[in-house]
Amino acid sequence: MHLKKYLVKPGLITLIALVGGCRAYFHQPTALHSARLGEETTITDELRLLPPPKEALAAAVYKFRDQTGQYKPAETSNFSTAVTQGATNILLKAMEDSKWFLNIERENVSNLLNERKIMRSSMTQYNNANELLPPLLFAGMILEGGIVSYDANIITGGAGLRYFGAGGSTEYRQDRVTVYLRAIATRNGKILKTVYSSKTILSQSVNASLFRYVRFKRILEAETGFTTNEPSQMAVTAAIEKAVQALIMEGIKDNLWLADEKYAEQTQQQMADYEAEKAEMQGTDIYGVTNSTERPRLSITPYVSMLRLNGDYAIRSWKPGYGLNVNYNITPKWGVQANGFMSSFSTFTKDRSFTLDRNWRNADLSVVYQGLPYQRITPFGSLGMGLSQTSTGNGFSNNLKTFSYAKAGGGLEALVSNKIGFRMMADYYFMTNDQVDDIANGQLNDSFLRLSGGISFYIGRGSKKRAVTAPVLNQTPATN
């Protein structure tokens, strides 16, 4: 029975820690695996679903290099590169999957030329004739570029919890690889189009452990966990495939090459999807967060609150209240706020021999800062000053007193539409004297803590127009 008591709660904690990564945990490599075909990325299917070309483009790739100069981080001396050195092979495979290119060997063309010399020599020896081989194909276009950056640890973090010898933790790290690709016309050397793409690389670990004395001289200790690292080669493959897809779509848009006219409807649909993706990316930062939300300048927020006085009496209670604030954004991040609030407060001694009940109302003006004004969920903070009044009885006619205060607060706002958002707030009121509860005691003045929730209604237009609209597609078929 004692063992069961000590195992139930820690076992639940361990189970919760492992649920999020059950796929990796229950597929541990405890046996040998045979060779298999290479995995595909999420972009591979998009390449294969591109509309077919009117005519395949003869293209050559001499070298798609790793230009990062990045080495793998290691505790000991290790000069292994952080990204693959075989990016040329990945690019040629992506071009082949798209069905838009006729690939021509150029990376090891010296080997090809040498083999053709051997063939001509052998044919002359056996046939006693100088038989000519077919000429080599020439490329109308050359694809150049490379892997230009590998940024390690752009985001790192984790969380953990341990209680009474049982707990778990998780850590994560995100890297980023960036690829540039350009198409060059062979006839005149003109750079036709340049595109770039990026892909994040995720590494994460989950650990759970238990250390407990179950009885005298008996210790129970257990630990488990796993670590997953997204292969950098798969990330490079996805980035290159995305760059090839973007290059094809950009060329179609600029009439550099033509899609098959039989698939005009499919081409228009995929072009519209591509332009919408580009428009979204213009408002997305390097962390993958979309900054396309536009908050109007003026907002009105009715709210309900719970208020507590931190005074000189031992027992403090929470009291409900309500209020309204009006916020005006001078800039996307900075604004001013006018606030009005009504509530009451109650405090009493430990033996409840004396109870103080007062009505409370206040008005203040604050400066507000929004941390993420272009995102649907943003933190905010405020600093301000104001006046408050207290009274006894049902209204504000008995024993009316006026106090001034400084105010600091913060919270979160989440938009559900362009005009409506939910707001959660916490505000701290520091009074300029210690007479709110009629007792001056100690070195600190009386103060109030208020927790609030409300609905923000936005009026008018935004303080800075950031919405990016996709350009209207040219519905006229491309012609030579």
What CATH number is attached to the domain comprising 302?
2.40.160.20
Residues 163-182: b if buried by 16+ CB within 10 A, e if exposed: eeebbbbbeebbbbbbbbbb
Between 390 and 171, residue with greater pLDDT: 171
Mark whether 253 and 387 lie in a shared domain: no
Over residues 435-453, mean pLDDT: 80
Mark whether 48 and 162 lie in a shared domain: yes
Mark whether 333 and 200 lie in a shared domain: no
pLDDT at 173 over 60: yes
pLDDT at 214: 83
Over residues 26-36, mean pLDDT: 76
Mark whether 309 and 232 lie in a shared domain: no
Residues linked to residue 386 through DSSP beta bridges, in sequence order = 364, 405
In terms of Cα–Cα distance, which of 348, 322, 299, 336 is closest to 450?
322
Please, which pLDDT band fits residue 476 given cuts at 50, 70 and 90? very low
The answer as to whether 111 is a domain residue is yes
Sign of CA dihedral 108, 113, 116, 121: negative
The answer as to whether 124 is a domain residue is yes
pLDDT at 4: 46
Mark whether 218 and 330 lie in a shared domain: no
Please, which pLDDT band fits residue 17 given cuts at 50, 70 and 90? very low
Between 476 and 180, residue with greater pLDDT: 180
pLDDT at 26: 64
Any idea what the CATH number is for the domain that residue 112 is in? 3.40.50.10610
The answer as to whether 477 is a domain residue is no
Mark whether 20 and 107 lie in a shared domain: yes
Instruction: Looking at 254-379, list the stretches that DSSP marks H as alpha helix, in order from N- to C-terminal side.
Output: 264-282
User: pLDDT tens digits for 134-164?
Assistant: 888 899 999 999 999 988 888 899 999 988 8
Domain that holds residue 137: 2-25+42-259
Which of 172-176, 304-308, 473-477 is least confident? Answer: 473-477
The answer as to whether 268 is a domain residue is no
Between 473 and 198, residue with greater pLDDT: 198
Whether the CB-CB separation of 398 and 391 falls below 8 Å is answered with yes
User: pLDDT tens digits for 202-253?
Assistant: 999 999 999 888 888 888 899 988 888 888 889 999 999 999 999 999 999 9
Between 114 and 354, residue with greater pLDDT: 114
pLDDT at 463 over 60: no
Domain count, the chain: 2
Mark whether 302 and 222 lie in a shared domain: no
Mark whether 57 and 180 lie in a shared domain: yes
In terms of Cα–Cα distance, which of 196, 147, 153 is closest to 175?
153
Between 76 and 427, residue with greater pLDDT: 427
Q: Give the long-range contacts of residues 220-223, CB within 8 A, separation 24 or more.
A: 220/3, 220/6, 220/7, 222/14
Residues 45-58: b if buried by 16+ CB within 10 A, e if exposed: ebbeebbebeeebe
What's the pTM?
0.71
pLDDT at 447: 85
pLDDT at 74: 61
pLDDT at 314: 66
Whether the CB-CB separation of 320 and 305 falls below 8 Å is answered with yes
Mark whether 347 and 250 lie in a shared domain: no
Mark whether 179 and 253 lie in a shared domain: yes
The answer as to whether 427 is a domain residue is yes
In terms of Cα–Cα distance, which of 178, 249, 166 is closest to 212?
166
Over residues 26-46, mean pLDDT: 82
Q: How far apart are the first and last CA of the chain?
A: 84
Q: Would you state the structure tokens that stand for residue 297, as one six-digit string? A: 């300048």
Please, which pLDDT band fits residue 114 given cuts at 50, 70 and 90? very high
pLDDT at 319 over 70: yes
| Pairing, β 420-431 against β 447-462 | antiparallel
pLDDT at 5: 44
pLDDT at 7 over 50: no
Whether the CB-CB separation of 359 and 319 falls below 8 Å is answered with no
The answer as to whether 185 is a domain residue is yes
Mark whether 255 and 328 lie in a shared domain: no
Which one-letter amino acid corresponds to residue 108?
N
67: left (phi over 0), alpha (psi -120 to 50) or beta: alpha
pLDDT at 199: 92
pLDDT, averaged across the chain: 83
In terms of Cα–Cα distance, which of 251, 322, 246, 307 is closest to 281?
246
Choosing from 259, 284, 306, the residue where a domain stops is 259
3-class secondary structure, 117: helix
pLDDT at 473: 39
The answer as to whether 153 is a domain residue is yes
pLDDT at 23: 58
pLDDT at 290: 75
Over residues 379-396, mean pLDDT: 86
List strand residue ranges (DSSP E) for 164-247, in order.
Answer: 166-185, 191-215, 218-229
Mark whether 302 and 251 lie in a shared domain: no
pLDDT at 474: 41
Whether the CB-CB separation of 236 and 230 falls below 8 Å is answered with no
User: pLDDT tens digits for 333-359?
Assistant: 999 999 999 988 877 666 665 667 788
The answer as to whether 19 is a domain residue is yes
What length is written for the chain? 480
